[in-house]
Structure 1
């Protein structure tokens, strides 16, 4: 995304449109944590009630447990925000992939060659999550942080790659099958152009999507294609594949 001033939190919703609250205690706790997002980092008790459908008495009990576990923290204003325990869990999640030592050099090399931001996304439910990224040093740029979540339905080249290789429909299916990448221009963000390709382990296991994201006015389609070709070279040098094993066998 291009850095802009943050927008105000969503206004409270009325009782008629409030979601049905989960039944199980664990599900209720998860629904509280999932109420937070990049644009909603500080939420009041009423915000959380509107987002989860839970009554305030139940919420206060859950919030007390989550604060004690350091998964949330409470400010003097009464607002809640994500706590340090979530960062710890996020780092454990990243480390469980054992990919960073191999992928980070690829992302850095591609960023240096293209001059644009590069990132690696995985699918989590109906969202894509950024695990690694290399930010360009150019003043106007796409900026993303590890852990950033985006709805797959909102588009972007990496979203189409993740949808296709996890069994979900995408309008870019033909391009992905024929050319091995997804290319979008001004789809999710009007000013941006992105191109993404799938990343597979040496044994053919699908891992996620590597994407190069640049300002559309300085990143024409020819530059996007050159960037993805270089990314393929770098991935191969580090033991990754960019085509499914079945496709490679069929082409022989």
Structure 2
């Protein structure tokens, strides 16, 4: 195994561990999710533990370690997207009454950076802050996937395809159809695949150069969302246009 291969595999393990940040990740789960042999995973984890990037708790589950926390604190001073988006998320949730999510891309995953609940009695809390899911899942994740550079799409689809079926039986072919529709209409819409009976609408956030740096989505029960989809899209597009002027 080359040094580059070892680094790539260690990074993938860190992603998998961060996805289970609340409960912790078992060795067997990391082996299954990574597709690596158990001795390889164990060796890489040992090195990550020694470096402080990973720790083991009393139940022998793996979690991100103190050095990962320190790196996050240092890096956070250069990433202000969550703070910049906060007032826009608040306005969108207040106007729609529904839950609003801010997600960013992390490799082949979407990562939930923030969430704002609305005033409607039934809120759809499909993903927690700090949680990651394969790109294409949820309105924000589908927006990130649909509006990424086209040359990156085939590789990302190859990486996420093994995980799609767990989300309502989603297939690569169905996802490609959703991507095509999103590109044609300028926003992403997905129903049932993340959570049954839920529709999520996502719009990408672009920097001054037109590069997609995140997405904001609104999720609600499908019966509530369908007759209001146009209004929700208008609200998202208006607020994101205002946000982008300040980026």
- Shared fold (TM-score, shorter chain, > 0.5): yes
Q: Does 1:162 align with 2:167?
A: no
Spell out the pairing of 1:7-26 with structure 2 (5 A cutoff). Answer: 24-26=5-7
Query: Given the superposition, is the C-alpha separation of residues 22 and 164 from structure 1 closer, same or farther in structure 2, using an over 3 Å criterion?
Result: same
Change over 3 Å in CA distance of 1:22–1:224 after alignment to 2: farther
1:73 and 2:78 are equivalent in the alignment: no
Is the Cα contact below 8 Å between 2:53 and 2:68 reproduced in 1? yes
Distance 1:198 1:71, change over 3 A: same
Which residues in structure 2 correspond to 1:200-239 (within 5 Å)?
200-217=206-223, 219-239=224-244
1:141 aligns with 2:124: yes
The corresponding residue for 1:183 is 189
**Cα shift readout 1:176-195 (whole Å, capped 9, x = no counterpart):** 34432122222321121111
Aligned-pair Cα RMSD in Å:
3.3
Could you tell me which residue of structure 2 aligns to residue 172 of structure 1? 178
The 3-state SS of whatever aligns with 1:97 is coil
Deviation at 1:133, TM superposition (A): 2.3
SS at match of 1:122: strand
* Structure 2 counterparts to residues 37-48 of structure 1, below 5 A: 37-38=19-20, 41-48=23-30
Deviation at 1:110, TM superposition (A): 0.2
Deviations 1:64-83 (A, max 9, x none): 44234332222233332233
| 1:127/1:149 contact within 8 Å kept | yes
Q: What secondary structure sits across from 1:123 in the alignment?
A: strand
SS at match of 1:172: helix
Q: Determine if contact 2:145/2:179 at 8 Å carries over to the other structure.
A: no
1:23-73 Cα shifts (integer Å, max 9, x gaps): 8443443343244333994334444455553444x6555434423433222
Is residue 33 of structure 1 aligned with residue 38 of structure 2? no
Structure 1: which 5+ runs fail to align? 1-19, 242-252
Count of aligned positions: 219
- Paired with 1:75 and 1:237, the residues of 2 have a C-alpha distance of 44
Q: Distance in 2 between matches of 1:79 and 1:175?
A: 41
Deviates more, 1:174-183 or 1:111-120: 174-183
2:92 to 110, 114, 120: 110
- For 1:22 and 1:135, the matched residues in 2 are separated by 44
**TM-score, length-scaled by structure 1:** 0.70
Contact 2:93 2:117 in 1 (8 A): yes
Deviation, 1:199, is 1.6
Contact 1:106 1:231 in 2 (8 A): no
Deviation at 1:129, TM superposition (A): 1.6
User: 201-210 vs 21-30, which deviates more?
Assistant: 21-30
Which structure has the greater CA radius of gyration? 1
Between structures 1 and 2, the one with greater helix share = 2
Q: Deviations over 1:131-153 (max 9, x none)?
A: 23213364542243333211125
- The structural deviation recorded for 1:234 is 2.0
Structure 2 gaps of 5+ residues are 155-175
